[in-house]
Amino acid sequence: MTRHRHMTEARFKRARDHISSFPGERLDLATLSRIAALSPSHFHRRFRTLFGMSLHRFTQLTRLKHAAFHLAHGTHPITRIALECGFETPDGFARAFRRCFGTTPSRFRRQQDWRVWRKPLAELTIAENRYQRRRFEPRDVTIRFFPATPIALMMHQGPAERVSETVQHFISWRKRNGLSPDRAATYTIFFDDPAETPPESLRIGLAAGVLRALPAQGDAVTLRTLPAGRCAMLRLVGRADTIEDAALFLYRDWLPTSGERLRDFPLFCQRVAFYPQVPETRAVVDLYLPLEGAST
């Protein structure tokens, strides 16, 4: 019975991930039920039960999420974004966007207010993360020597759910300084444990690798160095929400049996490939846990 349930969940997860990866494709019931290898009636009925919303709503919210990110991060015309995100006409896209976010696509592009974005898509995040929990094993961890890496660092201090606002400031700064993700590596440094730190004191560092001198940065961005040293590295493929599970595995499960000791530097990650440059299901994050000891 358990095996049958896992197989059914895997089929629905495959269809859900297809929607997330290809929002511009034809995503009708017949197509998605075929991907899941289930009858259309069974697929339609069970989708709501498993993911907490109708297939139509999940598809619509996914398309709007993709559109919002491309409006914020890209330069394509709004008409092109509408069509590439699966909307048949720009007017239909504008109406759906306004109903969801309370603003027009053009106004959102000029001034991204991620507070209006967060609430409507909270239920989508829940649906996306169902059945996403991954089990890690010691063999997934490798010991790497991480070289000293100069970075430009912007600090976020405050609740984790508001980090997207700091991310937008950091993206704008990167654009002004020619440090796009394809030219400069992207890092996140987790200075505090959210389970032990009051939300208003939580610190998260957003960083880009720098290979040249930069103008004076002021208080918002400082030039630092990720220190050289041994690290336990765990690669994650898929949505970045799994970072919390992966970090817990490294600290709670892997470290006590590894014979290793922690170095005095916080957990950090490199975002090798990330949304919206690639579909969320194909994002790649390398998580690094700094360790004591000389390199070999």
Phi, psi of 267 (to 5 degrees): -55, 140
> Tell me: the pLDDT tens digits for 184-230?
999 999 999 888 999 999 999 999 999 776 766 666 899 999 999 99
- Separation in Å, CA 41 to CA 29, 34, 38, 48: 9, 11, 8, 12
Query: CB-based contacts of 71: which residues, under 8 Å, 6+ apart?
Result: 78, 81, 105, 108, 109, 112
In terms of Cα–Cα distance, which of 31, 38, 44, 29 is closest to 8? Answer: 38
What is the reported pLDDT for 277? 78
What is the reported pLDDT for 127? 82
The arithmetic mean of pLDDT across residues 30-54, rounded, is: 88
What is the reported pLDDT for 162? 81
> Tell me: the pLDDT tens digits for 222-263?
999 999 999 999 999 887 666 888 999 999 999 999 999 999
What is the reported pLDDT for 207? 96
Topology of domain 138-290, per CATH?
A: Multidrug-efflux Transporter 1 Regulator Bmrr; Chain A (3.20.80)
**pTM greater than 0.75:** yes
Phi, psi of 219 (to 5 degrees): -80, -25
> Tell me: the pLDDT tens digits for 87-120?
999 999 999 999 988 889 999 888 777 677 777 7
pLDDT band at 5 (very low <50, low <70, confident <90, very high): low
The arithmetic mean of pLDDT across residues 47-64, rounded, is: 90
172/151: higher pLDDT: 151
Q: How many CA atoms lie within 13 A of 286 on its CB side?
A: 15
The arithmetic mean of pLDDT across residues 255-273, rounded, is: 96
DSSP percent split of the chain into helix, strand, coil, nearest 5: 50, 20, 35
What is the reported pLDDT for 90? 92
Query: Does 1.10.10.60 match the CATH number of domain 2-129?
Result: yes
Tokens read off for 284: 């790649």
* Helix (H) / strand (E) containing 209: strand 203-209
164/3: higher pLDDT: 164
What's the mean pLDDT when you consider all of the chain? 87
What is the reported pLDDT for 182? 84
Q: Is the peptide bond before 40 cis (omega within 30 degrees of 0)?
A: no
Q: Where are the domains of the chain?
A: 2-129, 138-290
Phi, psi of 120 (to 5 degrees): -65, -25
What is the reported pLDDT for 2? 59
What is the reported pLDDT for 1? 43
Residue 158 pLDDT exceeds 50: yes
Residue 270 pLDDT exceeds 50: yes
